[in-house]
């Protein structure tokens, strides 16, 4: 009987996938019980999709990356000139010497006929595929006439998704793996070279006691992330408010009610101009209706949910850090409550089963009842969005369990995901925008009202709900009496410190990090005491963080700006798409 070894990225994934494929008949064991981190091993027999023959299956996992890279031994000495780190040799070694994952994988794969890789379906997972292959392929049975290594692509831990992936096995993507290798090597060379240089320089100048740290780290993504926070802080501190002037007018209607008018220009920085407008309005005494309009408008439903949008929403609505959000999202995915949470795509695929998604979350709670109504009243078409060619958008897969409901943070994130998916499948919000206009001495004043016609998606996203605002019924040619007109002086406000949500926006806009790494980079600037979080969850740079960015800017402000990293990320994308090579990117 032929043997098939299957490898997942984490032990609990191996347990779930083996259970689904074996119909819960797999026997659980361990590859090496002598090790404190012995990998799990699940075994069963069943048909092999490629040929239909009966085979023996083994399923195990890694603990994430199997290997890590480092400099060759001589270059690991801090006395080596940091400049040499850009040209010295790189070695790949076992990530966890105690776990001996490579050795365990080789033991499980010895004499296997086929290898099926169930690593996470992103570039990082693709890279781990090749680490697993390096350990297993040399000890497999040699069958040159047949494909021996397969890749399973899946986006949800459901029976349907897993079995569908198993019957549509593909080939690992070497180019995506190479792009991760290139990123890791460049981050190692740049990060270590600058870390050593600035640590030595600052220790020599200020002493270790003053720095209160052994190393002063530089990160190719961490530094522009910190720079965004420092720049906003400095903009706030250096801001000088400018006075500006509003013209406030109130009129008396024929029915005796007093109504304020909006000045269409909103404000002016010229006080004399504002006073002149007030005088002209008072002199006019009566204002004539010059225009009446009622125009239908739409407030578009949100696009399908991707990782960055989930991080933004969790930060702004749940006061949850990006790193904690991803930890909870991973857990929800592992437990089968949501689909894969790392994706850049915001457009549902043509194959998306709306009915199944809605049915999976119907219930007695408010969101469940809304989902049930949407099944029978679903608008045609879907929201606009972008297909980035990776995983489909994040969606719920099943109702919350009582255990999940007792975990406030995880349940809060689950509900947020459900609400935004329901909103993306709902109708747009439609409303009438009503205006009654008055022209006087070349200036326009207005009454503005709103009549909500269809709440649409705002029924489920209540914080975006529009409130109807009635205005009196007037016709062109009607007159109203000016009751008061005055100038109100105000001062422009300084920009506020960044929120985590603001920072995520800036990182995405400038191409700093990926959907998977953005939370890690934000976490690192907090961990290294470069920034702190205020009581209202705004990001305040510490003196050390400010000094770091000031130092880079004094040397070369390109060191702290996002353009270098953004260009590098674009080059890495070209490698993943086989349009460039690692050596080209490293030379650039």
Query: pLDDT value at position 381?
Result: 67
The answer to whether 539 and 500 have CB atoms below 8 angstroms apart is yes
Pick the last residue of a domain from 458, 475, 491.
491
Return all residues near 89 (Cβ < 8 A) that are at least 6 apart: 71, 72, 75
Return all residues near 545 (Cβ < 8 A) that are at least 6 apart: 226, 229, 230, 525, 529, 530, 531
Of the candidates 220, 217, 218, 225, which has an alpha carbon nearest to the alpha carbon of residue 187?
Answer: 220
Query: Rounded to an integer, what distance in angstroms lies between the CA atom of residue 450 and that of residue 471?
Result: 8
Query: Rounded to an integer, what distance in angstroms lies between the CA atom of residue 125 and that of residue 580?
Result: 21
Q: Name the most confidently modeled range: 123-137, 139-153, 501-515, 567-581.
A: 123-137
Pick the last residue of a domain from 397, 424, 451.
424
Tokens of 569: 């990320």
Domain ranges, residue 21: 3-172
In a shared domain, residues 215 and 256: no
Q: pLDDT tens digits, residue range 488-507?
A: 999 999 999 999 999 999 99
In a shared domain, residues 203 and 341: no
Query: pLDDT value at position 316?
Result: 92
Tokens of 135: 């350990």
Cα radius of gyration rounded to whole Å, the chain? 30
Is the pLDDT at 587 greater than 60? The verdict is no
Query: Rounded to an integer, what distance in angstroms lies between the CA atom of residue 132 and that of residue 151?
Result: 12
Q: pLDDT tens digits, residue range 20-29?
A: 999 999 999 9
Query: Rounded to an integer, what distance in angstroms lies between the CA atom of residue 394 and that of residue 307?
Result: 8
pLDDT-based confidence at 376, cuts 50/70/90? confident
In a shared domain, residues 325 and 247: no
Average pLDDT, the chain: 90
In a shared domain, residues 397 and 537: no
Identify the CATH number of the domain in which residue 114 sits: 3.40.50.140
Query: Rounded to an integer, what distance in angstroms lies between the CA atom of residue 69 and that of residue 103?
Result: 18
Of the candidates 189, 233, 220, which has an alpha carbon nearest to the alpha carbon of residue 85?
Answer: 189
Of the candidates 227, 243, 244, which has an alpha carbon nearest to the alpha carbon of residue 235?
Answer: 227
Catalytic residue among 340, 370, 414, 431: 340
* pTM for this entry: 0.84
Pick the last residue of a domain from 172, 194, 224.
172
Q: Point out the least confidently predicted range of 20-29, 375-384, 395-404.
A: 375-384
Q: pLDDT tens digits, residue range 189-231?
A: 988 998 898 888 777 777 767 666 778 788 888 999 999 999 9
Query: Rounded to an integer, what distance in angstroms lies between the CA atom of residue 215 and that of residue 422?
Result: 48
Catalytic residue at 340? yes
How many distinct structural domains can be found in the chain?
Answer: 4
Return all residues near 517 (Cβ < 8 A) that are at least 6 apart: 221
Query: Rounded to an integer, what distance in angstroms lies between the CA atom of residue 65 and that of residue 131?
Result: 8
In a shared domain, residues 384 and 450: no
Which ranges of 9-122 does DSSP label H, i.e. alpha helix? 11-21, 101-109
Q: pLDDT tens digits, residue range 43-90?
A: 999 999 888 899 999 999 999 999 999 999 999 898 899 889 999 999
In a shared domain, residues 373 and 317: yes
Identify the CATH number of the domain in which residue 197 sits: 1.10.460.10
């Amino acid at each position: 009987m032929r043997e098939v070894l299957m490898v997942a990225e984490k032990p609990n994934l191996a347990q779930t996938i083996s259970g689904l494929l074996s119909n819960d008949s797999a026997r659980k064991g361990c590859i090496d019980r002598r090790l404190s981190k012995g990998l799990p091993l699940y075994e069963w027999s069943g048909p092999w999709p490629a040929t239909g023959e009966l085979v023996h299956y083994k399923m195990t996992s890694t603990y994430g990356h199997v290997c890590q890279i480092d400099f060759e031994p001589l270059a690991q000495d801090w006395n080596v000139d940091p400049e040499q780190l850009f040209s010295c040799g790189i070695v790949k070694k076992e990530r966890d010497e105690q776990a001996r994952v490579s050795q365990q994988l080789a033991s499980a794969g010895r004499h296997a006929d086929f290898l099926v890789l169930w690593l996470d379906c992103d570039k990082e997972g693709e890279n781990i595929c090749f680490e697993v292959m390096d350990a297993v392929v040399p000890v497999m049975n040699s069958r040159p006439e047949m494909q021996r290594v397969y890749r399973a692509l899946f986006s949800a831990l459901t029976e349907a998704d897993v079995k569908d992936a198993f019957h549509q096995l593909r080939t690992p993507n070497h180019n995506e793996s190479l792009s991760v290798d290139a990123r890791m090597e460049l981050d190692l060379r740049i990060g270590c070279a600058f870390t050593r240089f600035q640590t030595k320089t600052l220790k020599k100048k200020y002493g270790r006691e003053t720095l209160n740290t052994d190393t002063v780290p530089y990160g190719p993504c961490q530094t522009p992330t910190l720079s965004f926070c420092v720049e906003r802080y400095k903009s706030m501190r250096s801001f000088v408010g400018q006075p500006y002037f509003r013209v406030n007018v109130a009129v008396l209607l024929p029915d005796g009610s007093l109504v304020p008018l909006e000045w269409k220009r909103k404000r002016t920085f010229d006080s004399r101009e504002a006073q002149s407008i007030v005088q002209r309005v008072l002199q006019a005494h009566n204002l004539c209706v010059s225009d009446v309009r009622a125009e239908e408008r739409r407030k578009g439903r949100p696009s399908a949910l991707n990782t960055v949008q989930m991080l933004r929403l969790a930060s702004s609505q749940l006061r949850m850090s990006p790193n904690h959000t991803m930890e909870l999202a991973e857990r929800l995915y592992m437990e089968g409550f949501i689909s894969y949470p790392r994706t850049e795509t915001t457009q549902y695929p043509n194959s998306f089963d709306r009915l199944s998604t809605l049915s999976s979350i119907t219930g007695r709670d408010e969101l469940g009842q809304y989902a049930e109504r949407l099944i029978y009243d679903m608008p045609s078409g879907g929201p606009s969005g972008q297909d980035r060619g990776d995983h489909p958008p994040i969606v719920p897969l099943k109702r919350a369990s009582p255990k999940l409901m007792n975990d406030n943070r995880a349940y809060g994130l689950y509900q947020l995901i459900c609400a935004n998916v329901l909103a993306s499948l709902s109708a747009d919000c439609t409303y009438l925008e009503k205006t009654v206009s008055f022209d006087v001495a070349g200036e326009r004043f207005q009454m503005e009202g709103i009549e909500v016609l269809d709440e649409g998606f705002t029924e489920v996203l209540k914080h975006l709900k529009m409130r109807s605002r009635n205005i009196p019924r007037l016709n062109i040619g009607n007159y109203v009496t000016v009751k008061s007109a005055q100038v109100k002086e105000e001062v422009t406000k300084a920009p506020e410190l960044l929120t985590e949500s603001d920072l995520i926006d800036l990182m995405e806009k400038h191409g700093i990090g990926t959907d998977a790494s953005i939370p890690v980079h934000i976490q690192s600037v907090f961990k290294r005491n470069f920034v702190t979080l205020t009581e209202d969850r705004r990001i305040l740079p510490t003196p050390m963080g400010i000094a770091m960015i000031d130092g880079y800017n004094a040397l070369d402000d390109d060191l702290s700006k996002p353009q270098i990293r953004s260009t590098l990320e674009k080059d890495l994308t070209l490698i993943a798409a086989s349009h460039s090579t690692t050596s080209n990117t490293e030379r650039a």
